[in-house]
Structure 1
Amino acid sequence: MPPPAQNHETISFGPFELIVNERQVTRNTVHVELGARAYEILVTLLSRPNEIIDKSELIATVWPGIAVEEGSLRFHVAALRKALGDGRDGARYISTAPGRGYSFVAPISRRSLPARRQSQPLADSSAGFQHYNLPSRMGVMIDREDDLERLSNQLHTRRFVTIVGSGGVGKTTVAVAMAHQLRAAFNGAVLFVDLSMLSDPGLVATGVASTLGLSVQSQDVTSSLIAYLRDKYLLLVLDTCEHLIAAVATLAAAIFESAPQVHILATSRETLQVDGEYVYRLDPLAYPRDDGELSADLVRTFPATQLFVERAMASGATLAFDDSDAAAVARICQKLDGVALAIELAARRVDVYGLHQTEALLDQRLAQLWTGPRTAPARQRTLQATLDWSYGLLSETERMVLLRLAIFVGNFPLDAALAVVAGDGLDQADVFAAIDSLVAKSMVATRSLGTAMRYRLLDTTRAYARDMEADAQETTALAVRHARYYREWLVQAGSEWSNLMSGAERAPYFAAVSNVRAALEWCFGPNGDLRTGVELATAAAPVFLAMSLLPECHHWSERALAAGESMSKSEEMHLRAGLGIASMHLYGENEHARAALNGSLTIAQEERDTSNEAGLLGMLHMFHFRGGDFSAALSFARRCRTLADDVDDPAALALARSILGRSLLMMGDLNGARIELEELFKTWSPTQQSSTIYLVHDRHYRAGIALARTLWLQGYPAQAVQRVQEFVDGARQMDHPASVTVLLAWSASIFLWTGDLDNAERHIDASIAMAETNSLGPLAAVGRARKAQLAIRRGDAVDGVASLRASLTAIHAVRYELITTEFDISLAQGLAATGRTDRASAYLDDTIRRVGSNGDTCYMPELLRVKAGFLQSEAQPRVADAQACLEQSLALSRDQGARGWELRAAHDLAQLLAGSGQRKAAREILRPAFDRFTEGFETADLVAAERLLADLS
């Protein structure tokens, strides 16, 4: 077997040459770009040509000490083959042994290069650098493969790389792994210098020289060290530079300039900021976000949770890791910001406290005192020690700014920091300079959110800062500045929100809401400022409403109204509106919501605030509309439509047309409804703005579904489906959960009417999931009722009836009666399908009476048609009564212009007449109804009608 590749060798194969000591591959003298992993795979395969090297052996060789999936090996082998042109023009270099490994199969030749000239050290007896002093690898790393790949490439091309990141993120671990990986490439010449053991900047050069084993006999240590390193080929690892940053920067720059074959890998919490330095920022490990239910399978895919589980089990803990465990692990990793050290320390406690108690202790901030391995550096044996180390390196101004920044929750912009942190002895210039320095020292993290840079403290750093003792008066002043800044931000956000079209644009706003919550908690807390709290809650109510943060809108509006603090009429109007609207969405139509909305409208009228009056009329229309009082809702819609003509605000007219069109649809005035709704969409766009947020709260996607339903009823099923898809997609892009949930539930009716049950199911399931995720109780009940409807349509009448009854009970409890007539029809059909025709008929008669009282007469033709079917199903069929019902349904549907209902009634009447031998009369009834359609011939009703016409012919 040929010997392994030596660093002084050149290996040739085909048109390629591999120069080992330069880690370079050429093709006909032209450099071939290879990633570090692909290069290591090639060297390993060349060391044993024509021999199959097992996949596990390749992984262990190329990724030592790192947990790597087999797919990574396949990926890099494919990249290597592509770089070599394997398989092109008959060339064949690497062969795959399925299920086993890979083999290098092309002929190779080797030749030696002249050895590098070794210079004598200052007073060193050794002729060369034949040893290395690397620490052992620090356990199995998770998800750092890409980091090592990029670092290897950067070290090769740039020679001088600084790994920068926050304390505990894993800089030293990665640097040690990188050095081990490159040891062979540097022929063992790898020097690791742990600078954390030094405190005197003047001893940096001496520390490096002594680690080399050099006897320094000169005052000018740096010059002597550089003279020694000038022609050396080695990797110099300078670990933990931040506390000696200036001295290390000077030395590293001198070595880089004067020793062209020395490669430098440094780790620091801030950059060295010298010529030649390439900065590699090491991010925390990715972890799952808390966005609803998390499955164990999903959580397993994140490196932070993989590390937690691996370290917990290595410490003796037993984890079932089902969905419950997975959610707890995800929350722990999120609280620890993916910081590797913090995750490892927490994981080691699971064996002692159990998973859920460990999570609880994290919330009590005990984790900072937990200890890690005894072999870890002193600064990393506890998280507290790591944070103390970082804090001790700060100036007094930087410490003051860091402690004040801890008031922010999550991300914050620079202008917020300048406005809130400045004061009480700090001006904005001080704050700006300190933040710049804290970012450089990795104490404050940055990220781009939207179009602006955002800043944040890691949760562990923030908890550390919050535990520091602070002057009570200064803390109160800081909290007031924080609350007032976000009050002004809310005023601005209210005017901007309607113009934000994408989730990326809205992300910074949701990030700021975390600070609004924190400010509200403080204002209404034991030592808070109630006056500021009322102002903040007033500004927050309409913004919470627009953002679909309904539980918070309800909570803080109610809290502010109950505070007993004097408030202006405008403040009371907004708080009552927020309380009423949120209560309506969360708990359905109730007297609490009605009183709040009426009170808000009264104030708007007294103050002659016509814009807000128009918006509140729209909200009261929604209140009565949802409650099933369609006549009262129509009166509010007409009042809003009249008022909109006097308000110089296009959004007011859009709202008025929207609610009037929807009311007219429910009352069976399809032509009037379509006129209002189509006029609305001629001039309205999702970006329409208004100074009154209640006017743009509803993006009119409900009106879009109303238009789709109108089109179906009028005999345009294809256009109806197209409109549904357009408006559901538009609402999803706007990221407004309440609107999307309503649309999904209502759009399902279009698919049920057209007979597309699979699409109906998809929309229903999505509506249920979104309603439950966003605590929209009434809408969740509507989604489950839709699911039961679907079950009845598919023939599962027994379970469908039971589920629909339970759902209707929940819907009636919150008085969400907007859609119950559709469910009553389905329930009656389900009862009949289970043989309870008498109960079905009685239930349907009650529904018909209720529709006559409430005003949703658009359903009357369908109710009469279904009733005719029940009359024919009785033990003694009442055919004449059934025919009368169908004729009445037919006449009423024609009066409404409801061709959708007309076709169904004509189909059933034609069947009845044909059954009694009146085939010609049956054709004369059905043919005109069918011929009025110009589209949608693949939908269920038209298919059935066409089939019956064919039979009648």
Structure 2
Amino acid sequence: MTDLSAGHGPRSGGAGTILDLDAVSFGPFSLRSRLLEKDGVPVKLGSRAMDILRLLVSRAGEVVPKNEILGYAWSGLSVEEISLRVHVAELRKVLGDGKDGVRYITNIPSRGYCFVAPVQRGPRAEPPSLTSRPAEKVTSSPSLPHRLDRMVGRDEIVAELAPRLLRDRFVTLRGPGGIGKTTIAVALAHALCDRFEGNVHFLEFGPLKDAALVASTVAAALGLVVHHNDPSDSIVNFLRGRRLLLVLDSCEHVIDAVARLAEDIHREAPGVAILATSRESLLVAGEQIFELAPLRGPPQGTRLSAGEVLNYPAARLFVDRANAAGHRDDLTDEDAEVLVQICGKLDGIALAIELAAARVGLYGLREMAALLDSRLQLEWRGRRTAPPRQQTLGATLDWSFGLIGENERIVFLRLAVFAGHFTLKGAIAVVAEEETPEERVIDALEQLVAKSLVSSQPDGASRRYRLLDATRAYAMQKLADGGEASVIARRHACYVQRTLEAGLTAQGGSGQMSRSQERAGLLADARAALAWSYANDDGADLRVPLAGSCTGLFVELNLLNEARIWSDRALAMLDDADRGGRWELELQSTLGHAFMFTERNSEQAEAALRRGLEIAQTIGDHANTFRLLSRLNMFYRRTGGYRHLVPTARHAERIARLIGDTAGIAGSKALLGVSYHLAGDQAEAQAHLDEGMRDDAALRGTQPGHFAYSRTPQIPLARVLWLRGYPDRALECVLPLVGASAPRDVVMHCIALCWSASVFGWVGDWSAVETMSTRLATHASMHGLVPYEAVATGFRAQTMIAHGEALGGIDLLRSALPRLHADRYELYMSAFAADLSSGLVSLGRLAEGAQVLHETIDRVEQEGGAFDMPELLRLRGELEAQSGNLDAAEASLVASAELAEQQGALSWRLRTEMSLARLRERQGVRDPREQLAKTYARFTEGVDTADLRAARLMLNPPSA
């Protein structure tokens, strides 16, 4: 422990004493006053970490002793050295210390810390903007499509747009369909990838049919958990302070929703650049329009040589794509004259040029020109009054459609039912029939790819296919005109249902993430199939099984609001044949899980989970029985139903052993460990958590949302270890979380932050509690996890009360506790209520404190008791002693000590023995500290934690 009473100044001050900095810079960072920026974008940094950074930077190159750092950052407070380590770890993470060999802060053992990076001092430098270039070349974002190997006639536009986008931050590429907006957007994103250090997100809205899903789609691409209808605020909160490029492609059919979101992002997130492509302007503040002109073609009526005509991008694109399609004849001067005519008829529209060029090898150049004259009329006016996209390119596609064989036409039209990418297996499933057998589908698909009607791209060892949006719209209309639309849509819905159902079956008890990643590619088709089946009588019989198959996918992708809506809708349509079967089971399970987070811990959530469990047990579905038991266990944890925890966990363990899956068995051990911990049997809890830790790899591989247990058992184990009297081992479990970034499963990460904060509070490291609560609040706000916002407030209040700021802490707790109660989130209420009671008592408001504590104990007893009952009884005994009722106080404290011993909670016992020692001293008992000494002697570690220091001080008081 360090005595900081002689600190160097107030925590928020010091600039005029230790620090005398106008502005300094180091690497990509600039530090001005208490503002840290990276490449011109503000960096969020906690106040303690900022104090440490300012001190170290002001003494760059010097070793600053640890006591001096503690004295400056925690002026007037007594804190552990671990607090310094936690905040230095936070600081190093923010700075990227150690990445690519770059070092900023080094630890000099037994001495202190030193800022070792070169620091530039002097007049304040202008902060870097979006136009500043990072030093290292980086890899492009995984969401960014591959750039074309050769882009014709657009390099100048990319070169012009790059600095404009960096300067203005919001540019819309506007132009008619097929003109090449997406191609330019992809090329521009690749060109700027280095500037944004790889932080480029490409959003393709083409497959999206519902404008209400725009924000959810953006949130999912950014990795945010979606728990409500409109996550726009969560998106803006997430992007605020970040530096990245957001590409919004094909916005015209969802333009109002995109416009609102883009305007908010542009206004609130100055480090984000937005590149949109659309047939019309978004018409919002900040938008800069770039009108994309057609490819420049040779002037009509002129005679040009072959070399001269190729100076024009439209002609060059035509020849390039014709060669790519297999046409190998050299372009002659006579051909050049014909090519001039063709370019004039195609009006410089890239898609039309590519479609025509792909057929030159079949018909020849002159015949192609004749076909254009007789069968193809293009209308490109580029105005708001122009025909819709499918009509605009309809003539081109009519002509292209006329050039392919009958078998290719059948396959082409039927493929239009796919809303996104599809596989060869999917194409065969939807298209093939007796008259169009599998081999014909394969052959036709190859021809359609070769003729540019279907695009293809590698996907690992296989390939993915898709129809361009305009092509798909054209084909869908043709399909409807031919009377096949409903038949093919039904086949598509059946294919989606079968594929997702097979994925659910394959997951079974394991819920491995690789399965989810494969299934995620079906999201657009799942949405399209659901929309069709619920809008058409032909799909009525598919509605329930399709929803049952799709909603599990929504849960895996954290689209819980969609999962809830479709589950609820399908359950309302169940007939007698479906009740009690597989699909009601799946829908009830999904509905209960989604309700827990989108509608809080409602009675409807419990009812749905219980109904699902009843069905699973009746039909002998062990995998779903286990999954539902894990979800019910989480429900009881959240709602304080502690008496139900161990029975449901034991039941889950039996089912896991029947299934025999490694991850399931490990998960059941984690479930049992947490259940015994909360129910108050810490020895059993430790034994089961230790067993779960042995299969840690299997646990970490499970899919988020599939089960409801911790995939990182060391976090609950930390709480158990502290209670059992191993504070140092407990800290070893939670310290790695201090510098860890949020994983994919954000909900479980928030739970880990909550539980870690409680461990840090028990050992008396309130600075670490503050760090955990700040991060928890950030994630809760970012992802719309409302209950965790209240939990973060509770931990912040704990910290304030511990620091003697009782009034402020009480106000925060009076705000947080009703919110938790409204959410039925009882798990943290007893601890926070105890803090509220202690805060009131510290202000002399004994009656109020007693009432809060009495109500809390009554509520916990009604639920069957809990792990913290010994502490609640101890606090009641302290309060009774303070009120002068020593007999009642002794009874409460003895009951606390006995219960702590029964639970195997040595740390609770130590606290109670300190309270009993003080009481017995007042009662005049001989040797009042005898039992305290015996309890203290049972500890083998943690001598520097708060409770053991306090006990040691009582046993060895300083001489007068």
TM-score bin, normalised by smaller chain: 0.5 to 0.7
Q: Does 1:354 align with 2:335?
A: no
Show the counterpart of 1:567.
578
| Counterparts in 2 of 1:481 and 1:901: CA distance versus 1, 3 Å | same
The residue correspondences of 1:786-935 to structure 2 (distance < 5 A) are 786-871=795-880, 873-874=882-883, 877-878=884-885, 881-882=888-889, 884-910=891-917, 921-922=928-929, 924-935=930-941
Which has the larger displacement, 523-532 or 554-563? 523-532
Show the counterpart of 2:486.
476
Show the counterpart of 1:746.
755
Q: Deviations over 1:42-96 (max 9, x none)?
A: xxxxxxxxxxxxxxxxxxxxxxxxxxx999xxxxxxxxxxxxxxxxxxxxxxxxx
Instruction: Measure the CA separation in 2 of the matches of 1:836 and 1:917.
Output: 28
Counterpart of 2:901, as a letter, is R
The partner residue of 1:951 within 943, 952, 957 is 957
Counterpart of 1:552, as a letter, is E
The residue correspondences of 1:329-348 to structure 2 (distance < 5 A) are 333=275, 336=276, 342=277, 346=280
Higher normalized contact order (CA 8 Å, seq sep 6+, divided by chain length): 2
Q: What's the CA shift for 1:899? A: 1.4
CA RMSD of aligned residues (A): 5.5
| Counterparts in 2 of 1:301 and 1:670: CA distance versus 1, 3 Å | closer
Show the counterpart of 1:223.
none
Instruction: Measure the CA separation in 1 of the matches of 2:474 and 2:429.
Output: 23
The partner residue of 2:604 within 589, 592, 604 is 592
Unmatched tracts of structure 1, length 5 or more: 1-68, 72-97, 100-140, 151-161, 180-239, 243-266, 271-279, 309-316, 337-341, 360-366
Does structure 1 retain, via aligned residues, the 8 Å contact 2:520–2:553? no
| Counterparts in 2 of 1:603 and 1:301: CA distance versus 1, 3 Å | closer
Does structure 1 retain, via aligned residues, the 8 Å contact 2:728–2:942? yes
Instruction: Measure the CA separation in 2 of the matches of 1:716 and 1:664.
Output: 18
Q: What's the CA shift for 1:173? A: 2.9
Q: Helix, strand or coil: the match of 1:747? A: helix
Show the counterpart of 2:154.
173
Instruction: Measure the CA separation in 1 of the matches of 2:661 and 2:515.
Output: 25
Show the counterpart of 1:674.
686
Q: Does 1:627 align with 2:596?
A: no
Does structure 2 retain, via aligned residues, the 8 Å contact 1:498–1:686? no
Q: Helix, strand or coil: the match of 1:302? A: strand
Instruction: Measure the CA separation in 2 of the matches of 1:713 and 1:620.
Output: 26
Does structure 2 retain, via aligned residues, the 8 Å contact 1:165–1:171? no
Instruction: Measure the CA separation in 1 of the matches of 2:691 and 2:262.
Output: 59
Does structure 2 retain, via aligned residues, the 8 Å contact 1:701–1:743? no
Q: What's the CA shift for 1:840? A: 0.9
Q: What's the CA shift for 1:558? A: 1.6
Q: Helix, strand or coil: the match of 2:484? A: helix
Does structure 2 retain, via aligned residues, the 8 Å contact 1:287–1:330? no
Structure with bigger gyration radius: 1
The residue correspondences of 1:18-29 to structure 2 (distance < 5 A) are none
Q: Deviations over 1:146-170 (max 9, x none)?
A: 9x999xxxxxxxxxxx99479xxx7
Instruction: Measure the CA separation in 2 of the matches of 1:680 and 1:177.
Output: 54
Instruction: Measure the CA separation in 2 of the matches of 1:914 and 1:805.
Output: 35
Q: Does 1:293 align with 2:299?
A: no
Q: TM-score if structure 2 supplies the norm length?
A: 0.59
Q: Helix, strand or coil: the match of 2:698? A: coil
Q: TM-score if structure 1 supplies the norm length?
A: 0.59
Does structure 1 retain, via aligned residues, the 8 Å contact 2:666–2:699? no
Instruction: Measure the CA separation in 1 of the matches of 2:158 and 2:791.
Output: 56
Q: What's the CA shift for 1:898? A: 0.8
Q: What's the CA shift for 1:714? A: 0.2
The residue correspondences of 1:582-661 to structure 2 (distance < 5 A) are 582-641=594-653, 648=660, 653-661=665-673
Q: Does 1:379 align with 2:360?
A: no
Q: Helix, strand or coil: the match of 1:817? A: coil
| Counterparts in 2 of 1:269 and 1:902: CA distance versus 1, 3 Å | closer
Q: What's the CA shift for 1:538? A: 2.0
Instruction: Measure the CA separation in 1 of the matches of 2:790 and 2:509.
Output: 32
Instruction: Measure the CA separation in 2 of the matches of 1:582 and 1:627.
Output: 16
| Counterparts in 2 of 1:269 and 1:330: CA distance versus 1, 3 Å | closer
| Counterparts in 2 of 1:480 and 1:319: CA distance versus 1, 3 Å | closer
Show the counterpart of 2:945.
939
Q: What's the CA shift for 1:462? A: 5.8
Q: What's the CA shift for 1:418? A: 4.2
Instruction: Measure the CA separation in 1 of the matches of 2:850 and 2:724.
Output: 28
Report the identity percentage: 30
Q: What's the CA shift for 1:808? A: 2.4
Show the counterpart of 1:237.
none
Instruction: Measure the CA separation in 2 of the matches of 1:460 and 1:143.
Output: 38
Q: What's the CA shift for 1:473? A: 3.5
Show the counterpart of 2:245.
302
| Counterparts in 2 of 1:283 and 1:656: CA distance versus 1, 3 Å | closer
Instruction: Measure the CA separation in 2 of the matches of 1:298 and 1:570.
Output: 47
Does structure 2 retain, via aligned residues, the 8 Å contact 1:544–1:552? yes
| Counterparts in 2 of 1:502 and 1:302: CA distance versus 1, 3 Å | farther
Instruction: Measure the CA separation in 2 of the matches of 1:319 and 1:591.
Output: 34
Q: Deviations over 1:812-831 (max 9, x none)?
A: 22323233212221222233
Unmatched tracts of structure 2, length 5 or more: 1-38, 42-121, 124-129, 140-145, 161-177, 193-199, 204-217, 220-233, 252-258, 298-346, 350-379, 383-387
Instruction: Measure the CA separation in 1 of the matches of 2:131 and 2:455.
Output: 22
Does structure 1 retain, via aligned residues, the 8 Å contact 2:512–2:701? no
| Counterparts in 2 of 1:626 and 1:728: CA distance versus 1, 3 Å | farther
Q: Deviations over 1:482-502 (max 9, x none)?
A: 222222222333355589999
Show the counterpart of 1:513.
523
Q: What's the CA shift for 1:174? A: 0.7
The residue correspondences of 1:205-284 to structure 2 (distance < 5 A) are none
Instruction: Measure the CA separation in 2 of the matches of 1:145 and 1:832.
Output: 56
Q: Helix, strand or coil: the match of 1:379? A: coil
Q: Helix, strand or coil: the match of 2:525? A: helix
Q: Helix, strand or coil: the match of 1:172? A: coil
Q: What's the CA shift for 1:867? A: 2.5
Show the counterpart of 1:132.
none
Q: Deviations over 1:83-133 (max 9, x none)?
A: xxxxxxxxxxxxxxx99xxxxxxxxxxxxxxxxxxxxxxxxxxxxxxxxxx
Q: What's the CA shift for 1:683? A: 5.0
Q: Deviations over 1:785-843 (max 9, x none)?
A: 34443444344433433333333223222323233212221222233344433101111
Instruction: Measure the CA separation in 1 of the matches of 2:767 and 2:676.
Output: 30
The residue correspondences of 1:626-775 to structure 2 (distance < 5 A) are 626-641=638-653, 648=660, 653-682=665-694, 685-686=697-698, 697-701=707-711, 704-724=714-734, 733=743, 735-775=744-784
Q: Helix, strand or coil: the match of 1:889? A: helix
Q: Deviations over 1:171-208 (max 9, x none)?
A: 423168899xxxxxxxxxxxxxxxxxxxxxxxxxxxxx
| Counterparts in 2 of 1:403 and 1:171: CA distance versus 1, 3 Å | farther
The partner residue of 1:554 within 547, 564, 571 is 564
Instruction: Measure the CA separation in 1 of the matches of 2:741 and 2:869.
Output: 31
Q: Does 1:529 align with 2:539?
A: yes
